[in-house]
Chains A and B, each alone.
Chain A
Amino acid sequence: MAEKMTYVEASREALREAMRADETVWCLGEDLGRGSVFGQYLGLQEEFGPERVVDTPISEAAIMGAALGAAMVGTRPVVEMRFSDFALCATDELVNQIAKARFMFGGQSRAAMVIRKPTGMWRSSAAQHSQSLESWYTHIPGLVVVCPATPQDNYSLMKAAIAADDPVVYFEHKNIWGMEGEVDRSHTVEIGKAAIRRTGADVTIVSWSDTANLADEAGARLAEEGIGAEVIDLRSLWPWDKATVRASVAKTGRLIVAHESVRVGGFGGEIAATVAEAVPGARIRRLGAPRSLIAYAPNLEDQMRVTREMIAQAAREMVK
C-alpha cells in the first residue's frame, strides 16, 4: 500500500522503523534533537530519547571515529555528517579506519553503519556546501556507496543500508528533500540494482542522485520528439549495476553518462570505460560539471550545472 511522502520523510520513516525494530540502531550528529539541518531527524529524539538520537559536539572526526568504536562493540550507528563537505574533516576515520577495520583485522570486526552525507547544489550554498564527492568513495575498498534519487528509493535504500553489515556511505541530495512521491513500505530494493526509469531503443542514459531525475525528464522530452531514451538510475555506485547498463547499451549502441559532480575523475569515466570494454563499437558521451568551483551568484552557480536540456541535446546529437 503506497503513501505520499517527501524524500526527507521517506528516509526518516525508514530510520524510525529500523530503530523501533532494533535497539542497537542509534544515530549521532550535530543538532539531531532539533531534526538536524533539513529535518531528517524531526521527532526521533522525542520518540527514542537523547541516548539513541545523540546531539554531538561539532567534532566530525569524533562522530565518525566514535561510530566505529561503537560498531565494533556491537551497536549499529547511523552517522550524520550534516553536509558531505564536512565529512572531509573525518576522512581518516572513514577511509583509514572504518573502511579497513574488517579486512585489516582479518575479519574479526565489522563496521556496520550508515554514514549520511547530504550532497549536491542547493540554493546558492557556494563552494563549501554544494559539492558532489561520491566518486571519491567508490575508490575506497570496504565502502558501499548509495545515491537515492526518489522518495521510494530513499525509503527502501535507507532500510537496506541500516540492515547491511558494511559501512554504507549514503548520499541524499539536498535539492530534493521536498520531492513528493508514492512510497510503498513493503517495497525492498537491493543495493547494487539499478532502476530502469524509462525504456527506449535509441540511447541509454545512465545517471544517479538528482541528475537521474533530470535524465528522466530529458527522456520524456526526447520521447515526444520520437527518440527512445532508456534512462537508468544506478541508485548505488559501489556496487554498480554493470549488467543492466551493459544489456541496455548492447541494445541501443549509445551511452550517455550524466552526473552533477566534476566530470574529470567523476564516476562517469569508470562507467564509460567499462562499457567501452564490454560493448565494442558503442558510442559514448560523458556529461559532468566543468572542473571549476561552485559559486554563490546564481548565474555563476548555473555554469556548473548539467541540465535536462544538456542531456536531451546530447542524445539528439548522438542519434542524428
Chain B
Amino acid sequence: MSEPGDDGDNRARSIALLRMMERIRAFEEQAILAAERDKLVLGAIHPSIGQEACAAGIMQALRRDDILLSTHRGHGHTLAKGADPLAMFRELLGRAGGCCGGKGGSMHIADFNVGMLGANGVVGANITIGAGAAHGLKLMGSDRIAVDIFGDGAVNRGPFLEGLNWAAVYALPVLFVCEDNQWSATTRTRTVTAGEGAGARAAAMGLPVTTVDGNNVEEVAQAADQMVARIRSGNGPEFLHAITYRQTGHTSFDQAAYRPEGEAERHKREDDPILRQRSYLREMGLSSAELETLHAEAQAEMAALLKEAAATPFPPDSAAFTDVQDIGSPAKEAF
C-alpha cells in the first residue's frame, strides 16, 4: 500500500487500478462476444461494465486470504480478488477446469483459493452468508475480514436487515458494500425503495456509512483502505455505498429499452470509470501510448484466454453425481 506523499508509489497504484479495470472490461467484453457471437456461454451473464471501479478499488484493499461474497454481477469482483481468468472463462463456458468444474456458471463463480466464497443467484442471499463468514473468522480469532457486496435492489430483501443487524450486534469484521447501479433489473430502484435507501438503513442499525462516487476508482480505493483498516483492527462492521451505473442491460441479452433515451450514452461518455482514470493518469504524466498499451494488453490477454477456454472439453458425465454429499451420496445411489 502506498505512503501518502510517495508519488512513485501513488502513480504505480493508480496504474494498477486502471490495469485491473481494463482487464475486467476486457474479460466481460470477451464474455459478451462469447455469449452473443459464438453462442459459447450457456446461461445468462450479468456484465458489470461501467462498475469496474468498485471491484478494482475495493479488492486492492484486501489480502488474498480475506473473504469475498458477491452477486450475480460478480465477474469483476472475482477477477480483482485474484481469481484465474482462464478458469473463470471455462466456468462461463461450462467446461472442465472451470473454477467450479463447470457446475456453477457465471452466477455461481467462486474461487476458494483466493477467498472468493461465491457469487449468488439469489438476490441478497450473500448478505447473511458474508456476515456468517465474518462470524466464523472472529470465532477463530483470525485477523481476516469479509467483504460482502450486493446491489441496490438487495436492500429491499429481508436478509439485508437480518445480516446487517447480525454483524452490528456481534461487532463482526465485515465490510458491506452496496454497489448501487441505480437499477434492479428493469426497474429503477428508487421507485420501489422507501425512505432514503441503502445508507440510511445501514446507519439506522448503527453502522458507519461512507458514500463514494463509485465511478472514481481513486476515491473508492481510498475509502476502502480506510474502512478495511478500521474493520481489521476490530472496530466492527462498516457500510460502503458506492454510486455507479450499469452501462449494459441487466443481462448481456437485455437491450434495456426501458431506459430513458440517452441515459446510458451520457454515462458512457461522461462518467465511465475507465475513461476517468485514463484522464487522471494523463494528468499524472502518462502518455497516450502508455495508456493504449495497458488497454491493448488487457484485450489481448482476455481474447487469448477465451480461445483457450473454448478448446477445453466439458466435464465428464459422472461429475453430475459427485460433490453432492458424503452420506447418501448419489454417486452410490441416487434413487
0 or 1 for each of A1-41: is its CB under 8 Å from B? (1 = yes): 00000000000000000000000101000000000000000
A59-B165, A105-B100 given; A74·B136 CB < 8 A: yes
Report the minimum CB–CB distance from A64 to chain B (whole Å).
8
Q: Contact at B326–A106, with CB atoms within 8 Å?
A: no
Interface residues in B108-138 (C-beta closer than 8 Å to A): 108, 110-112, 117-118, 120-122, 125, 127-137
A141 at the interface (CB under 8 A from B): yes
Contact A69 B134, beta carbon cutoff 8 Å: yes
Interface pick from B7-15, B53-61, B155-163, B305-313: B155-163
- Structural contact, B132 and A105, CB atoms closer than 8 A: no
Is A57 interfacial (CB 8 A cutoff)? yes
A62 with B128: in contact, given A69-B136, A105-B110 (CB under 8 Å)? yes
Complex contact B323–A103 (CB within 8 A): yes
Whether A106 lies near B323 (C-beta < 8 A) is: yes
Indicate if the CB atoms of A65 and B125 lie closer than 8 Å: yes
* Contact call B118/A101, Cβ cutoff below 8 A: yes
Interface residues of A in 95-112 (CB under 8 A from B): 96-97, 101-109
A66 x B166 contact (CB < 8 A):
yes
Q: Is the CB of A97 within 8 A of B327?
A: no
**Contact B130 A75, beta carbon cutoff 8 Å:** no
Q: How far, in angstroms, from A104 to B117 measured CA to CA in the complex?
A: 11
With A93-B125, A97-B125, A105-B112 in contact, do A66 and B103 touch (Cβ < 8 Å)?
no
Q: Does B140 contact A (CB under 8 A)?
A: yes
- Judged by a CB distance under 8 angstroms, whether A92 is at the interface is yes
- In the assembled complex, the CB of B50 is this many whole angstroms from the nearest CB of chain A, namely 27
> Given A104-B100, A239-B327, is A72 in contact with B125 using a C-beta cutoff of 8 Å?
no
Q: Does B98 belong to the interface (CB within 8 Å)?
A: yes
Question: A68-B129, A97-B129, A106-B98 known; A166 and B165 CB under 8 Å?
Answer: no
Interface range for B: 35 or more
B104, B132, B165: the one contacting A70 at CB < 8 Å is B132
Given the known interface contacts A106-B99, A108-B110, the answer about A62 and B163 at a Cβ–Cβ threshold of 8 Å is yes
Decide: B163 and A164 in contact? CB cutoff 8 A.
no
Closest residue of chain A to B67 (Cβ to Cβ) is: A73
Question: How many A residues face the partner with a CB closer than 8 A?
Answer: 49
Q: Max chain B CB contacts within 10 Å: which of A101, A167, A274?
A: A101
**For the complex, what is the distance from the CA of A154 to the CA of B56, rounded to whole Å?**
50
State whether A70 touches B327 (Cβ < 8 A): no
The answer to whether A106 and B104 touch across the interface, beta carbons within 8 angstroms, is yes
Tell me whether A238 and B328 are in contact (CB under 8 A). Answer: yes
B322 within 8 A of A: yes
Question: Across the interface, which residues of B come within 8 angstroms of A107, CB to CB?
Answer: 101, 322-323
Partner of A144, one of B99, B111, B325: B325
Q: Mark B137-156, 1 if CB is under 8 A from A, else 0.
A: 10110100010000000000
Among all A-B residue pairs, the 8 with the closest Cβ atoms: A65-B128, A69-B132, A66-B132, A239-B328, A70-B136, A106-B101, A106-B100, A69-B133
Using a CB–CB cutoff of 8 Å, the interface residues on chain A facing chain B are: 24, 26, 51-52, 54, 56-57, 59, 61-62, 64-75, 92-93, 96-97, 101-109, 141-144, 164-168, 191-192, 238-239, 274
